[in-house]
Amino acid sequence: MQTLTVSLVQTSLFWEDKSSNLEMLSKKISGITEKTEVVILPEMFSTGFSLNPGALAETMDGPTVKWMKKIAAEKKCILTGSVIIKEAGGPEPLFFNRLIWMQPDGNYGYYDKRHLFAYGKEHESFNAGKTRLIASVKGWKIQLQICYDIRFPIWLRQSNPANPFPEAVNEKTELEYDVLIVVANWPVSRIHAWKTLLQARAIENQCFVIGVNRTGTDGNGLAYSGDSMIVGPLGEIIQVLPENEDILTLTLNKEITETTRKQFPFWKDADHFLIQS
């Protein structure tokens, strides 16, 4: 129960071509020979980062979610990544950049991206989420986020059980999560920020951070260098993928986070705060 094996799928994507992307990803996932428990895909893995939800959005019973259920069941693993989803919202539908956490038994949770990339006008096409999702598997607690979210540390911050009641704290106090997963379409022009922010979020939350980014060039001419990585709870880069398409499978050990938090109990000195929607 102390280990968790994850597979990061770093890939180029076909622009706004769902069938080609799902076919390509099916082959890549079936080609993972190691026993894996969580397979992580990039942001908007079925379309690329498109601002055309009117044409591309699906409901939660649409073909992409059905594909995720099929793959998760066949591979006997959890499958996660974000897709464009629409929900009924009165006279006009609501569109979300939604990360889906699909379990092999067909049950799922989801997280709607809270911080929409206004610089790229994402906020004009999508609705923002209001709640976080912390999933659980084998005793591991996993926080799930999407791309631009990692620029906002308060939204991702571990809640502090040490305050305002420090007398209640002991060595067995548990933080909110052990792993932070971030799926992204993060362009190479700002890749330094991607690397730095992933390490910063690991340091301040004393957790593993997994970032999965795409490669290639999208329909808007933006280039992506991948740089998908796994970062340890002290901010150390455990492994990073170069620009090429690749799949990284690695086993995490929970004892590392537990030892880090015990040896360096910085979390006890953190501020108490409350996030309001």
Catalytic residue among 16, 43, 58, 122: 43
- With beta carbons less than 8 A apart as the criterion, state whether 46 and 82 touch: no
Identify whether 77 is a catalytic site residue: no
- Between the alpha carbon of residue 88 and those of residues 85, 93, 230, the distances in Å are 10, 5, 37
113 is catalytic: yes
CB 78 within 8 A of CB 104: yes
Catalytic residue among 16, 37, 77, 147: 147
* CB within 8 Å of 160: residues ≥ 6 apart: 267, 268, 270, 271, 272, 273
The residues, any chain, with a CB within 8 Å of residue 184's CB and separated by 6 or more, are: 42, 43, 146, 147, 194, 211, 212, 213, 214
43 a catalytic residue: yes
What span, in angstroms and rounded, lies between the C-alpha atoms of 242 and 239?
A: 10
Options 18, 69, 86, 113, the catalytic residue: 113
Report, as residue numbers or ranges, the catalytic residues: 43, 113, 147
